[in-house]
């Protein structure tokens, strides 16, 4: 059996930084994370066992003893920082620098009067956070149809940003629509290359294997996206959260197995999957 592991599998730079920030501050309790630090149940459980509490709302936070609040890589809106500090808590900011850059763009361009267009999933925490940096009401869209429907003042420049994990091709098509309509567009390239690289490598790998394993949390949107991209190339693609999910899968001695993992999958889980697959030989 041949096992091929994608070089880009696992934590990206931003997630790695956020997780390290929590472990580096583990002795500074009370310590909270604003939302789960990553979409990985095993890591979140480990942190909970070490006394780190996940906060799901600001209302919940103010009922708790004063302490430090870690902002995860997705980032939050400006009003969340204000609320935390005004209520006597301290912020430790682990927002990914690539997301921080979008906050700055949206803040600067909304201040000079551009109409802000955010391309991405309106329910994703990253998009909710980005909205919170615009000084005017931004428009959130996620398809060419949404862009066609928008009827905005043609004399006001647009500033367009994308969710860091948005599909590059789809983003270009959306921008093309605004240009064709005659808007002056400040186009911002905000798609993170880590995601692009991981997806391209996964597609390439899944084309040449018999079975493809995509390791990551069942709720992680980037893992689900990765799974779908691989499934389009290789019918035998499986989304694996822990090695228990591998129990029903058989691996033939002559098979080539590909392995990749989402941005929130720790290396030890990837390693466990690799070891398990190799042990079935
Ligand atoms: S995917 Fe990119 S933008 Fe998102 S946390 Fe990772 S490095 Fe940052």
136 and 122 share a domain? yes
102 and 92 share a domain? no
Average pLDDT over residues 13-24: 94
87 and 108 share a domain? no
Structural domain total, the chain: 3
Average pLDDT over residues 87-91: 97
Q: Residue written as tokens 């720790």?
A: 266
* C-alpha 253 to ligand 1 mean position (Å): 37
CATH of the domain at 153: 3.40.1010.20
105 and 58 share a domain? no
221 and 237 share a domain? yes
Q: Print the domain residue range for 47.
A: 13-96
Q: Which of 136, 154, 187 is the last residue of a domain?
A: 187
Nearest CA to ligand 1 atom 8: 14
126 and 180 share a domain? yes
The one catalytic residue in 48, 126, 145, 281 is 126
For this structure, is 247 an active site residue? no
Give the H/E segment covering residue 170.
Answer: helix 168-180
Q: Report d(CA 138, CA 117) in Å as an integer.
A: 6
Residues 125-139 have pLDDT tens digits of 999 999 999 999 999
31 and 75 share a domain? yes
Nearest CA to ligand 1 atom 6: 14
Average pLDDT over residues 250-271: 92
Full-model pTM: 0.85
pLDDT tier, 61 (very low <50, low <70, confident <90, very high otherwise): very high
234 and 262 share a domain? yes
92 and 104 share a domain? no
Residues 35-57 have pLDDT tens digits of 999 888 888 999 999 999 999 99
Question: Residue 281: is its pLDDT beyond 80?
Answer: no
Q: Which of 187, 206, 224 is the last residue of a domain?
A: 187
Average pLDDT over residues 67-93: 97
Q: Report d(CA 167, CA 184) in Å as an integer.
A: 23
Nearest CA to ligand 1 atom 2: 192
CATH of the domain at 86: 3.40.50.11270
* C-alpha 248 to ligand 1 mean position (Å): 33
Q: Which of 42, 62, 96 is the last residue of a domain?
A: 96
CB atoms within 10 A of CB 249: 15
Average pLDDT over residues 94-118: 98
* C-alpha 119 to ligand 1 mean position (Å): 16
Question: Residue 152: is its pLDDT beyond 80?
Answer: yes
The residue ranges of DSSP E strands in the chain, in sequence order, are: 2-5, 31-34, 53-55, 68-71, 90-93, 115-119, 139-141, 158-162, 185-187, 211-215, 237-240, 256-261
Ligand 1 shell residues, CB under 6 Å:
12-15, 73, 96, 98-99, 164, 192, 194-195, 263
215 and 173 share a domain? no
79 and 137 share a domain? no
> What per-residue confidence (pLDDT) applies to 241?
92
* C-alpha 241 to ligand 1 mean position (Å): 20
């Amino acid at each position: 059996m041949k096992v091929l592991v994608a070089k880009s599998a696992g934590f990206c730079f931003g997630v790695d930084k956020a997780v390290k920030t929590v472990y580096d501050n583990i002795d500074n309790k009370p310590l909270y994370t604003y939302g789960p630090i990553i979409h990985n149940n095993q890591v979140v459980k480990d942190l909970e066992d070490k006394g780190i509490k996940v906060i799901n709302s600001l209302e919940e936070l103010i009922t708790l003893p004063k302490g430090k609040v870690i902002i995860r890589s997705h980032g939050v809106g400006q009003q969340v920082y204000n609320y935390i500090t005004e209520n006597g808590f301290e912020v430790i900011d682990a927002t990914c620098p690539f997301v921080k850059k979008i906050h700055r763009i949206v803040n600067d361009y909304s201040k000079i009067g551009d109409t802000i267009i955010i391309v991405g999933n309106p329910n994703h925490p990253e998009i909710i956070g980005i909205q919170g940096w615009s000084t005017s009401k931004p428009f959130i869209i996620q398809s060419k149809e949404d862009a066609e429907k928008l009827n905005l003042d043609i004399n006001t420049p647009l500033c367009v940003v994308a969710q860091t994990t948005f599909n590059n091709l789809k983003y270009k098509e959306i921008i093309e629509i605004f240009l064709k309509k005659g808007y002056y567009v400040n186009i911002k390239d905000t798609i993170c290359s880590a995601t692009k690289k991981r997806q391209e490598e996964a597609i390439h790998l899944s084309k040449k294997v018999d079975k493809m394993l995509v390791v990551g949390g069942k709720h992680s949107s980037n893992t689900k996206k990765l799974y779908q991209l691989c499934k389009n190339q290789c019918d035998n693609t499986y989304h694996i959260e822990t090695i228990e999910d591998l129990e029903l899968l058989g691996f033939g001695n002559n098979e080539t197995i590909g392995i990749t993992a989402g941005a929130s999958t720790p290396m030890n889980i990837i390693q466990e999957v690799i070891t398990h697959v190799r042990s079935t030989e």
